Amino acid sequence: MAQLSDDCFAFSGPLMPIAEMERLIAERVQPVSETETVKLAAARGRVLADNVIAPLDLPPFDNSAVDGYAVRHRDLDPNGETKLSITGRLTAGRAADASLGTGQATRIFTGAPMPADADTVFMQEDVRTEDDAVIVPAGLKPGANRRLAGEDVKKGSLLLPAGRRLAVQDVALAAAVGLTELKVRRRVRVALFSTGDEIVEPGKPRPAAALYDANRFLLDGMLDRLGAEVTDLGILKDDPAALEAGIAKAARDHDLVLTSGGVSTGEADHVRDAVEKIGKLVFWRVAIKPGRPVAMGVVPAGNPGTAAAFLGLPGNPVAAFVTFVRVVRPLFLRLAGANAEPLTALPVRLAFRYRKKSGRREYVRVALRPGTDGTIEAVKHPQEGAGVITSLTETDGLAELAEDTTTLEPGATVGFLSYATLMG
């Protein structure tokens, strides 16, 4: 079931750098081993278990890229117009009955197979016709407007690599070579719950000192975007025994147990202690803001010698979001058997001044706007609190500030990660 041994990590430092965390995940977490074969319609978002080799050329035959006239380039006058007799008409899906002869042209449409011996296609708007002949200009290069068999994919070549998390275009490529199903790894099974006496389910009566649970809906949606099979276990109260029992039970038949809340240093923050009692805590602080109190551990699973991964995220929604994309995401993709998908930050210009502590990576919620010179600028949300959910809904993404950065002035260039990229 689970893909971790209970000693797969070793870290003794007080604050784990993000790069070190990613290195440990890549080196020591093993993907789920079970596979299944699914129809193409169900393959989007799944992770390929094996390399897919192209069973045929794509396209499988030479064909026309435009509507026009197929000709033999050697018949053309290099210095002036050439008059060719029109011998046939080819539409997509219909093959030519005969090869093209000297001084002949075939009326052809986009996607139609090239007649034998034809090598070039004139676009219909570049020629003129007279009765049963077409007059073509000089200057067109040999092979123009012709798609060659195999120019997209060669038969026997690697079509899709193992570990590819299949996007819609990947599925379309598989369909284009005639495949109807693909072998993929099974979905990663995730147990999800929120913790806290102050958290209640939306729709239920809310005591004056309570908050509706937003984190579970946030995390469930992001897990769904990654292709997880999620079991929603609701809300667990701040009771040490209940937390221990809940985490231990969830680990028996899940690959990952994901919680939010209860991992800081408060007297009522019992999640970290629960993990230490039933399993092993790997780390519980990451050099990141917002979201430093994030706990990772391993909890014994159903089979002897195996364990489920545990990740406890902060209770504040923004911190939960940031730690999901920077901590949960790489671990999940590794469990899923997906190839590494590094987050590539795009350069933008700051429109604000910012100071930060050295030694931690910070993520600032920003909206994008064009500057006076047309360059895209990042504008900081006016509220920085990790519990301000509107700071996520009213911005476009996160400005990523490196560990060694301490001061940034307006006009500085920083990396920008869009929410679409982070949740893709």
- For the stretch 406-415, pLDDT in tens is 999 999 999 9
Q: Which of 62, 70, 176 is nearest to 111 (CA)?
A: 62
CA distance 48 to 185: 6
CA trace torsion 161, 165, 169, 174 (10° rounding): 50
Q: Give the per-residue pLDDT at 2.
A: 47
Q: Is pLDDT of 95 > 80? A: yes
CATH class of 346-422: mainly beta
Per DSSP, 56 falls in state S
CA distance 225 to 40: 18
Q: Give the per-residue pLDDT at 395.
A: 98
Domain parsing of the chain, residue ranges: 18-34+186-336, 40-55+150-185, 63-147, 346-422
Q: Give the per-residue pLDDT at 306.
A: 84
Q: Which two tokens stand for residue 85?
A: 């007799």
- Span 143-164, average pLDDT: 98
Those residues with Cβ within 8 angstroms of residue 296's Cβ, 6 or more apart along the chain or in another chain:
9, 21, 281, 282, 283, 284, 309, 310, 311, 312, 327, 331
The fold of 18-34+186-336 is Molybdenum Cofactor Biosythetic Enzyme; Chain A (3.40.980)
Same fold, 40-55+150-185 and 63-147: no
Neighbouring CB atoms inside 10 A of 167's CB total 12
Ranking 26-40, 111-125, 266-280 by mean pLDDT, the lowest is: 266-280
CA distance 224 to 213: 18
CA distance 286 to 282: 11
The fold of 40-55+150-185 is Molybdopterin biosynthesis moea protein, domain 2 (3.90.105)
Of residues 3 and 234, which shows the higher confidence score? 234
User: For the chain, what is the mean pLDDT?
Assistant: 92
CATH 3.30.70.260 corresponds to the domain 63-147: no
Per DSSP, 238 falls in state S
Q: Is pLDDT of 21 > 70? A: yes
pLDDT per residue as tens digits for the range 276-304: 899 988 877 889 999 888 888 899 987 77
In Å, what is the CA distance from 182 to each residue of 92, 189, 228?
Answer: 29, 20, 18
Neighbouring CB atoms inside 10 A of 137's CB total 14
